Structure 1
Amino acid sequence: MNLAAVVIVALAAVLIGAFGLRLSRTTSDFYVASRTVTPLWNASAIGGEYLSGASFLGIAGLILTHGADMLWLPVGWTGGYLVLLVLVSAPLRRSGAYTLPDFAESRLESMAVRRTASVLVVLIGWLYLMPQFQSAGLVLQTITNAPVWVGGLVVALVVAVNVLSGGMRSITFVQAFQYWLKLTALAVPVLFLLLAWRQDGAPELHDPAWTQPLTGDGEYGLYSTYSLILATFLGTMGLPHVLVRFYTNPDGRAARRTTLVVLSLLGAFYLMPGIYGWLGRLYAPGLEPPDTVVLTLPSLMVGGTAGDLLTALVTGGAFAAFLSTSSGLTVSVAGVIAQDLLKGGVRAFRVATLLAVAVPLGLALQARALSIADVVGLAFAVAASSFCPLLVLGIWWRRLTSAGALAGLFVGGGLACAAVLAQITGGPYGGLVGALVSQPAAWTVPIAFLVMVVVSLLTPGRIPKGVARTMVRLHTPENLALDRGDWRPRD
């Protein structure tokens, strides 16, 4: 049943993607679906790609292991969209860019800033893709005893086929379907698990250290908790696969409406991983690896044919999570590679797609396996330390200079990337160093903002010449036009 669920989800993704191919003909179709995606479709697609394996499996595993502190992950990942709604979504759509490096170049009129942003987009995308492939291998190994590399290869192949077939337009249909599949795959088993818990006498969990939030896990747990909150709240706006979806809306108003719907969809989904983690603490304490708790509980608590069916449903949802997030990341990374490293166009986009998938797949097969939510949290820290300052200051502060933006990207993004590299290759570390490396956002984000502001103030001659017109474009509603310097309603 589990293997059949994986096959059905993969085939559904390919068939829906093939439908998108019929509608994809132009470069704009491949990059931003010709900017015609409605708020509900776009919100469903955002939910599909944003709710990765870290959301579907990782949160429950971390809550099982570390307790209530890890509830800040879904709170932060949802709250990040509120920050995105207030500060970024509408101006970013009005910028008219295809990718985040496009925005950086148009705002700061600097190819150096664009190239630096391009490198960071690719690094963040690959860092986010790597645990998706690793976790897919873990899931397939759990249900079929297949070698761990098989699951990652399956996800990579399906994603490559979908993206190659129809680009953003194709992926939009696939990801919208996969959001509702993932929601169903968690919600239906939760009802049966709660009924089984009730029939078992509704046992309570007596562990104050596990149930009390903000007590921290370890010597510097309080620092780690607040650093995690900062990374998730500010990192969302810097994720390239999230930002590129706002370029597909018709206008800034639709971008804001999309964000509001996304908040509702994410809130509904994130009610459930915590229940799995709590039930896992009651019925499967010490489970290894903890990321498999969502897959283990149905057969453990329900059992029989019903338990097998629920496990198959959860397995299909998990693979939908890997496929949808990997698809969005591949589109965003391939778009940057095609425009900045190749010559652009549909053919270049397809070549870039293969590069975008092959590199993280190779890293996933070679790198040390970490908790999927931990690795994704590190990707959020890098995004919060680089693109968050660039977007906030670039949209709202006209005195930002190309030199200041470049310095902030290098310092903030560089420090965060160094911490990630140290954690993946040499970690885990103990004491204060371990806390600073495993959760770097609390010190890298302020440094990035400070460097951008200070260097910009020291280099006033590097303010872009067209900054006034750019700022007007970012903040002018679409139903107004600038004509000879005066505001005038558009006919």
Structure 2
Amino acid sequence: MDNQFLVSFALIIATFGLYIGIAVYNKAKQTSDFYVAGRGVPPVFNGMAIGADWMSAASFIGMAGTIMVLGYDGLAYIMGWTGGYLLLTFLLAPQLRKYGRYTVPEFIGDRYQSNAARLIAAIATIIISFTYSVGQLSGSGVVIGRLIEVDAAIGTMIGVVLIAFYSALGGMKGITWTQVAQYLVLIIAYLIPVIFMALQITGNPMPWISYGEVISELQILDQELGVTEYVTPFTEATKWQFLALMFTLMAGTAGLPHVIVRFYTVSTMKAARWSGAWALLFIGLLYLSAPAYAAFSRFILMTQVAGASINDLPAWTAAWVDTGRLSVADANSDGILQWTEIVISNDIVVMATPEIANLGVFIIGLTAAGAMAAALSTAGGLMISISAALSHDIYFRSINPNASERKRLLVGRWSIVLATVFAGLLALNPPGAITQIVAWAFALASGSFFPALLLGVWWKRSNGPGVIAGMVVGLSVTLAYIFAAKYGGFTILGIIDTGAGVFGATAAILTNIIVSLTTAAPSQKVQEEVIDLRYPEQMTYKNGEVWMEETDDVSKYSAK
């Protein structure tokens, strides 16, 4: 065993022990703990948990690699995901928290007065979360497989066992505090390598400032090698694909059930808004660093690996070639490795860069621990969403409404175990790269939940038949376009499978509006509840007037 293996293994085992210890200490004892952490999480810690929930393997492992490979076109991921978070924080999260339910399907069922709508939403939650979790478990397989030098499939199954254990035991309460720890691990693991690379390449330890110099040098290298310039827009995809992907990620973010439920874990609307503000700060630390990470990685590969003798490549290349995610074949048989002869998977760039930059065994091990934290934190949140859909929205609300609290917890825990195992089996042979799989999940969320929630909060005329038709049509259009684009080569304006959400969301919104307008309007009570959601928690809307609570009295605030 070499030092790198021992250090990496020790760091990952230490963090695993930390996560399991937190889950055991914060074991869920009642359903409110299991689903919404007792609604008692402070905003700053909820912001950290949201950050960990949000910064999945796609963000930690895949995003910098995607930007490194795609250049300018990869920025759609950063702009879409960040913009979507603003959309969620300001347009939906506080209003959904005021409604006071446990899950997104429960909100849809009660807001639209429809059991059928709740069931469809529960099924959509399972489909979206399952798709997303396949990407996370695939990422954990990459990390563990490289660490202990086994096949990625074995690494994936190790991740499955760990996630199933601490998610089922702690529920949302355990997951929340585990995610706080995972955020701290992943952000430290992400920032230290990029800071060291900035110091190594530019002499400036501030990567967010210094990577502009490296971009200028990359442009010169691109011209010398005769390859597409790194900063030239729309070289890897059309302008329409860039915009469609950005919209899909924004709308999908605002409709992801496992992210929305995090805003249910705080006590008030105000706390929900502050959670969003803290989360933006914590998420921004990684998202602002990803382009720098990508630029430094590409620069090191172009200057230190490309142009080297095929028989004199750095030792790290052999280990990554063995994983099947790096190819360095000498295609023209000249004995020199050309830039165009390096084929590197988006998913290994962040993991491999500390080795490429020779940052030392501790940094390599820390990066591995951070990548695992990112994959596990999001996977845990996704499993809770699947479990809540199965045990609360389907089992408790539809099948057995008289179930005891103990029985509901038992069903919830077994739902997590089974969902994790099934997702892990599919992740053994994932249908695409991590960022691509995650983009599909966002497309499905943008075609189903985003229109239902947007119209449910901001259009009082939207009704049960409208939301049912909208979700069914939106999901169908999105799925059909993903399959047609990926496997049939069908595209509109060059928009590929990852931009499918733009068609699904458009179809769902139009269907919801048309069906709602041609069927009976919701009751006056429901319409007043919808208007009431738009006011701060201390205000209520009733009989066309807004009332403000003052201590134990309620006084009229303004007439509408």
Same fold? TM cut 0.5: yes
Q: Take 1:113 and 1:415, find their aligned partners in 2: how far apart are those partners? A: 18
2:388 is matched with: 335
**Superposition deviation, residue 488 in structure 1:** 4.7
- 1:384 has 2:446 as partner: yes
**Superposition deviation, residue 432 in structure 1:** 4.6
Three-state SS of the structure 2 residue aligned to 1:435 is coil
- 1:357 has 2:420 as partner: yes
2:354 is matched with: 298
Is the CA contact 1:216–1:224 (under 8 Å) kept in the aligned structure 2? no
> Which sits farther off after the overlay, 481-490 or 347-356?
481-490
Q: Take 2:537 and 2:522, find their aligned partners in 1: how far apart are those partners? A: 26
Identity %: 32
1:194 is matched with: 198
Q: Take 1:111 and 1:198, find their aligned partners in 2: how far apart are those partners? A: 60
1:205 is matched with: 218
2:96 is matched with: 92
1:16 is matched with: 22
Gaps of 5+ in 1: none
Is the CA contact 1:108–1:464 (under 8 Å) kept in the aligned structure 2? no
Code of the residue aligned with 2:368 in structure 1: it is T
1:468 is matched with: 527
Higher helix share: 1
Code of the residue aligned with 2:196 in structure 1: it is F
- 1:121 has 2:121 as partner: no
Is the CA contact 1:181–1:317 (under 8 Å) kept in the aligned structure 2? yes
Q: 1:238 to 1:481 in 2, by over 3 A?
A: closer
Question: Which of 362, 365, 368 is the matching residue for 1:312?
Answer: 365
2:518 is matched with: 458
2:464 is matched with: 402
**Superposition deviation, residue 431 in structure 1:** 6.1
Q: Take 2:549 and 2:490, find their aligned partners in 1: how far apart are those partners? A: 61
2:278 is matched with: 261
**Superposition deviation, residue 436 in structure 1:** 3.9
Three-state SS of the structure 2 residue aligned to 1:347 is helix
Higher radius of gyration, 1 or 2:
2
Three-state SS of the structure 2 residue aligned to 1:235 is helix
Code of the residue aligned with 1:214 in structure 2: it is P
Q: Take 1:40 and 1:257, find their aligned partners in 2: how far apart are those partners? A: 8
**Superposition deviation, residue 58 in structure 1:** 0.7
Is the CA contact 1:419–1:438 (under 8 Å) kept in the aligned structure 2? no
Q: Take 1:482 and 1:228, find their aligned partners in 2: how far apart are those partners? A: 38
RMSD over aligned CA atoms reads: 2.3
**Superposition deviation, residue 366 in structure 1:** 4.0
**Length-normalised TM-score, structure 1:** 0.92
Three-state SS of the structure 2 residue aligned to 1:489 is strand
**Superposition deviation, residue 483 in structure 1:** 8.0
2:315 is matched with: none
Q: 1:33 to 1:307 in 2, by over 3 A?
A: same
Which structure 1 residue ranges, 4+ long, deviate > 6 Å from structure 2?
199-202, 482-486
- 1:435 has 2:454 as partner: no
**Length-normalised TM-score, structure 2:** 0.81
**How do 1:19-34 and structure 2 match up within 5 A?**
19-21=25-27, 24-34=28-38
Q: Take 2:521 and 2:352, find their aligned partners in 1: how far apart are those partners? A: 57
Q: Take 2:115 and 2:418, find their aligned partners in 1: how far apart are those partners? A: 23
- 1:61 has 2:65 as partner: yes
Q: 1:67 to 1:391 in 2, by over 3 A?
A: same
Q: Take 1:116 and 1:329, find their aligned partners in 2: how far apart are those partners? A: 18
Is the CA contact 2:485–2:491 (under 8 Å) kept in the aligned structure 1? no
**Superposition deviation, residue 485 in structure 1:** 8.1
Q: 1:196 to 1:478 in 2, by over 3 A?
A: same
2:151 is matched with: 147
Q: Take 1:169 and 1:134, find their aligned partners in 2: how far apart are those partners? A: 25
- 1:446 has 2:446 as partner: no
Deviations 1:197-249 (A, max 9, x none): 1369976102374433532414xx21110011101211111101101111111
Q: 1:214 to 1:434 in 2, by over 3 A?
A: closer
**Superposition deviation, residue 284 in structure 1:** 2.4
Q: Take 2:518 and 2:203, find their aligned partners in 1: how far apart are those partners? A: 68
Q: Take 1:210 and 1:280, find their aligned partners in 2: how far apart are those partners? A: 16
Is the CA contact 1:276–1:293 (under 8 Å) kept in the aligned structure 2? no
- 1:80 has 2:96 as partner: no
2:331 is matched with: none
**Superposition deviation, residue 484 in structure 1:** 8.6
2:255 is matched with: 238
Equivalent residues, number:
480
**Superposition deviation, residue 367 in structure 1:** 3.9
Q: 1:13 to 1:215 in 2, by over 3 A?
A: same
Deviations 1:133-168 (A, max 9, x none): 112112222233212212221222111111222211
Code of the residue aligned with 1:362 in structure 2: it is L
**Superposition deviation, residue 469 in structure 1:** 3.8
Three-state SS of the structure 2 residue aligned to 1:477 is coil
Three-state SS of the structure 1 residue aligned to 2:100 is coil
2:310 is matched with: none
Is the CA contact 1:287–1:293 (under 8 Å) kept in the aligned structure 2? no
